[in-house]
Structure 1
Amino acid sequence: MVLVNNKELARKIEYIKRRGTKDYIEKQLERNPFANSACLSLEGKGDFFCTGSVTFGVGFGMEDSLVKRDVELIEKFIRNQRGISHARFELTPFCDPLLTAMLQERHYTFERFLAVWVLELESWEAEESRQTTNAWTIQKAAGEECDEWAWTVALGISKDQTVGEETMEAARAFLEVPGNTGFLLKQDGKSVAGGTLAIDGQLAELFLASTVAEYRGKGYQNRLIEERLRHAKARGCRHATATTEPNTVSARNMENNGFRLIYNKAVLKSQALL
């Protein structure tokens, strides 16, 4: 399968993000009905999500056309959320140019790019050996270790090196989504890094990965990437995908593990919706 300019593969990638995020919000609200998360689905057009202070629309412009009243409905949805004042659309290169023009007319502006990576698993082979000076192991998060996985991933993402109960609950909900598996890396028995894998049919998505600050630079995320790819291939997946910020350590890790950049998504941001 040709990866570049493959609209059908792009649809599958955007769909796994839509489905996974919808399921995650549902699980999060089951655990905490007061969580600041919500989803607005426009049948056949895309999904718009709010999680915490983050908003993003996925899948729009790839199937049925979005019209002015759809955008107005999304903006009304944003106005009804706590602590959120901007709408953001993640637009693929396959997006209907009329949607881009409509958003520009409504004074949406470019905010950033997101890099979408893909690896063909049928031809991928794991390296035979990995050299390291530290004793490390990787295991799937299950049972009591689900909380340890959530704590480790949340701590690795935290900017101030603290993890509150609400953040733990938010991370823990990812493991309750059907098709998701958490992987936990331990050094000398201590949990220091984690990552997540979602599987939908023959497509796997690598996401939500982090390393505790004092253990970075040891190649642990590369180990977690490889372990998740092994798991996905063993379950019959043909492709694996990941989305990163461009020109980051995460992007370099994907490239170093054989992923190819197949498209960039442009994030367009609204003016303040008051």
Structure 2
Amino acid sequence: MAVEVVAGGRVIFAGAGSPLTEAKAIGLHGAVTEADVDRMEAAFFGRGEPARVVVCPLADPSFVESLGRRGYRIAGFENFLILPLGSDDAETPLTPEIEVRPIGSGELELYARVVASNFVGPGEPPDEALEMTVTMLGAAHASAFLACIDGEPVGGGAVLIHRGVALLAGAATLPPYRNRGVQAALHHARLALARRSGCDLAAQGAEPGSTSQRNAERRGFRIAYTRAILVRDPA
């Protein structure tokens, strides 16, 4: 995985076609120049990839204007949801058949194979997806959990904690085990860790109207804002 800092944001290359290959948080700290956008595009186009940019509504207008002049098109939207946390918040009882536990030593690849399937579709996840997941868990303050039924791993999810904020990410459930409360159990475990760690806010992204969004809203998350995903193909 390669990461380049541009105009206060990050351009991330996590492999060709990876959903994590994108630019984000650009323009949140001030005006963005044409040279900044040139550098951002070079990080994508130099690898033969389309430029995929997640634009926050709080970004400086100069960034959006530059993307418009360059012919970017809207490829989708992502809701960003938040949940204020209190140390004494009540928790919904878990489904007894689902065990959620932190991943153990030597279980990184097992976790990656369970979760990466959510990002690459059916079949065996390619090595790039496994590497992407392992890289994410290598970040500071990242923790991962496996959800198991009858001892069999059926889902997983991660949480990244920084400055009192817990970002829930990378959650997935294997198709045969969906609609059985696995995601609710993973939410429960990760939010409990966030509270124990002194966090006062949890956050996560979700496709508008998706099952992921509905699961989060059942836990009390509410939409803070919606981000646009803009794309431009290499010339």
- Residue in 2 that maps onto 1:232: 194
Give the Å deviation of 1:39.
2.1
Equivalent in 198, 215, 218 of residue 160 of structure 2 = 198
Question: What secondary structure, in the 3-state scheme, does the structure 2 residue paired with 1:122 have?
Answer: coil
SS of corresponding position for 1:71: helix
Matched-pair identity in %: 28
User: Residue 49 of structure 1: CA displacement?
Assistant: 1.5
AA partner of residue 67 (structure 1): T
1:96 is aligned, of 47, 57, 60, to 60
Q: CA deviation at 1:69?
A: 1.4
After TM superposition, the score normalised by the length of structure 2 is 0.91
2:28 match: 62
Q: Cα distance, 1:167 vs. partner?
A: 3.1
2:137 counterpart SS class: helix
Letter in 1 for 2:172: S
Question: How far apart, CA to CA, are the structure 1 residues paired with 2:166 and 2:174?
Answer: 25
Residue matched to 1:261: 223
CA distance in 2, matches of 1:103, 1:156: 30
1:72 paired with 2:38, answer yes
* Structure 1 residues 221 and 179, CA gap change in structure 2 (3 angstroms): same
- Across the aligned residues of Structure 1 and Structure 2, the Cα RMSD in angstroms comes to 1.8
Q: Is 1:273 matched with 2:231?
A: no
- Cα distance in 1 for partners of 2:87, 2:224 equals 17
Q: Structure 2 residue aligned with 1:47, among 7, 10, 18?
A: 10
CA contact (8 A) 2:4 2:11 kept: yes
Cα displacement (A) at 1:160:
2.0
Structure showing the higher strand proportion among its residues: 2
Give the number of aligned pairs. Answer: 232
Question: Which runs of structure 2 are paired with 1:1-274 in the superposition (5 Å)?
Answer: 25=1, 38-42=2-6, 44-52=7-15, 53-54=17-18, 55-81=21-47, 83-84=48-49, 86-122=50-86, 125-131=89-95, 135-270=97-232, 272-274=233-235
SS in 2 for 1:246: coil
TM-score when normalising by structure 1:
0.79
Q: Is the 2:118–2:173 contact (alpha carbons within 8 Å) kept by the matching residues of 1? A: yes
**Does the CA contact (< 8 Å) of 1:45 and 1:66 recur in 2?**
no
- Once the two structures are superposed, residues 117-161 of structure 1 have per-residue CA deviations (whole angstroms, 9 ceiling, x without a partner) of 0000127724352345xx221110120223321222123544223
The 1:141–1:131 alpha-carbon spacing in structure 2 relative to 1, beyond 3 Å, is closer
Contact 1:140 1:183 (8 Å CA) reproduced = yes
- 1:184 Cα shift? 0.5
Q: Is the 8 Å Cα contact of residues 126 and 226 (structure 1) preserved in structure 2?
A: no
CA contact (8 A) 2:95 2:181 kept: no
Match for residue 32 of structure 1? none
AA at the equivalent of 1:207: A
Q: Which residue of 2 aligns with 1:15?
A: none
Offset of residue 40 of structure 1 = 2.0
Q: 1:235 to 1:157 in 2, by over 3 A?
A: same
Match of 1:17 in 2: none
Cα distance between partner residues in 1 of 2:224 and 2:104 = 33
Give the unaligned 5+ runs of structure 2: none
